[in-house]
Amino acid sequence: MKPRRSILSVPGHLEKMHRKAAGSAADVIMLDLEDSVPVEAKSSARSQIVRSLLNQDWGEKVVTVRINSLDTPFAYRDLLETAEAAGHRLNAVVVPKVDHPGDIHFVSRMLDGIEMEKGITARIGVEASIETARGMEGVSEIARASERLVTLVFGIADYSASVEARLVSISGHGESEAALYPGDRWHFPLSRLVMAAKANGLQAIDAPYGNFKDMEGLRESGLKSCALGCNGKWAIHPGQIDILNQVFSPSREDIDRAVKVLEAFEDARSVGRGAVAVEGRMVDQATVRMARQLYEQASHLKMV
Ligand code: COA
Ligand code: MG
């Protein structure tokens, strides 16, 4: 699977931002039809997204479209118009506020038909944004709903609204949290989502960080979600991309440590040991699995 360290959300109706996004270092560009697009611009945003998908040079980037949630009058047209006209340029459809596996079945079946009708051979993926109490409760069933699924995404602001958690910052996207709760108040739902994603071979993606001028806050928030097993995090501003790419890539130090573990373990195995001490720490096969994973990630990112 392609890396999804940084996912830049771009309002669907703003062509200038599409050009800027195409030239950015984000792994994924998500052209948005949902919350960053006002109701009166939904229709023009669809046409703009189709034009951008067809005409913009996206290079190696993954390009996705976020449709409106299925309980709105916009969603079916979002899906139909963008996938019919430009489905061969579309890597995945992001479905917001997924409450139930049926939401994914619906999108998936629609895409089956569109792909057949239009002769699209590269399967269009589906990304499920989990941002309601109901969606989080059934996250494992959602994660198993379709072969098309590639990621689960945590939608922090809508999730907060859904569980009636107090708003503690201007944007509600992950800042100033410590002021209200002594710990990380999203630890449980985010971990729950990561578990469901990884049990089903999906990538887990964290919500964006709303204060786009606070780079240290962004780094800290990204490091926390990376530590829990997230593969990447949404960005709402191009200024956030470099930090996310850095945070979700192994560091030189991480790679050196992994190599040391792998080498020590090879030596241990040759003398019939299953566990061995490296720099005063126990290394066993579980450590080796983590080291191997990190090395594979680094090699995928062409860092080794
Ligand atoms: N994608 C692409 N380009 C973006 C961008 C984005 N998400 N956000 C800002 N830019 C561009 C601006 O067009 C501007 O380009 P320019 O220098 O060529 O004029 C540049 O980056 C600097 O923008 P800036 O002035 O700092 O931002 P702003 O104050 O105008 O807007 C936001 C701030 C948050 C409103 C804006 O970044 C945005 O709309 N983000 C996306 C929101 C979104 O997608 N929400 C839904 C997902 S949660
Ligand atoms: Mg949302």
SS in 3 state form for the chain? CCCCCEEEEEECCCHHHHHHHHCCCCCEEEEECCCCCCHHHHHHHHHHHHHHHHHCCCCCCEEEEECCCCCCCCHHHHHHHHHHHHHHHCCEEEECCCCCHHHHHHHHHHHHHHHHHHCCCCCCEEEEEECCHHHHHCHHHHHCCCCCEEEEEECHHHHHHHHCCCCCCCCCCCCCHHHCCCCCCCHHHHHHHHHHHHHCCCEEEECCCCCCCCHHHHHHHHHHHHHHCCCEEEECCHHHHHHHHHHCCCCHHHHHHHHHHHHHHHHHHHCCCCCEEECCEEECHHHHHHHHHHHHHHHHCCCC
Provide mean pLDDT across the span 225-253.
Answer: 97
**Does 273 score more than 90 pLDDT?**
no
**Does 262 score more than 90 pLDDT?**
yes
Protein residue closest via CA to atom 46 of ligand 1: 36
Evaluate whether residue 1 is within a structural domain. no
Residues 90 and 166 in one domain: yes
Ligand 1 mutation pick, 8, 16, 17, max ligand atoms within 8 A of CB? 17
229: left (phi over 0), alpha (psi -120 to 50) or beta: left
pLDDT band at 250 (very low <50, low <70, confident <90, very high): very high
Residues 171 and 279 in one domain: no
Evaluate whether residue 80 is within a structural domain. yes
- Ligand 1 atom nearest 207 alpha carbon: 48
Residues 38 and 124 in one domain: yes
Residues 34 and 113 in one domain: yes
**Does 269 score more than 90 pLDDT?**
no
Mean pLDDT of the chain: 96
**Does 182 score more than 90 pLDDT?**
no
- Ligand 1 atom nearest 11 alpha carbon: 44
CA of 224 to the centre of ligand 1 (A): 25
Q: What pLDDT score does 243 carry?
A: 98
Residues 14 and 38 in one domain: yes
- Write out the residue range of the structural domain in which residue 124 sits: 6-247
Residues 132 and 213 in one domain: yes
pLDDT in tens, 153-172: 999 999 999 999 989 888 88
Pick from 247, 264, 280: which residue ends a domain? 247
What's the domain count of the chain? 2
pLDDT in tens, 59-70: 999 999 999 999
Residues 196 and 256 in one domain: no
Evaluate whether residue 84 is within a structural domain. yes
Residues 119 and 94 in one domain: yes
**Does 39 score more than 90 pLDDT?**
yes
Residues 178 and 121 in one domain: yes
Would you say the CB of residue 268 lies under 6 angstroms from ligand 1?
Answer: no
User: Residues of the chain with pLDDT > 70: what percent?
Assistant: 100
Provide mean pLDDT across the span 259-273.
Answer: 89
**Does 187 score more than 90 pLDDT?**
yes
Residues 296 and 232 in one domain: no
Provide mean pLDDT across the span 237-243.
Answer: 98
Residues 67 and 168 in one domain: yes
Evaluate whether residue 134 is within a structural domain. yes
Pick from 206, 223, 247: which residue ends a domain? 247
Going by DSSP bridges, is the β-strand pair 276-278/281-283 parallel, antiparallel, or unpaired?
antiparallel
Residues 170 and 276 in one domain: no
Evaluate whether residue 11 is within a structural domain. yes
Pick from 229, 247, 265: which residue ends a domain? 247
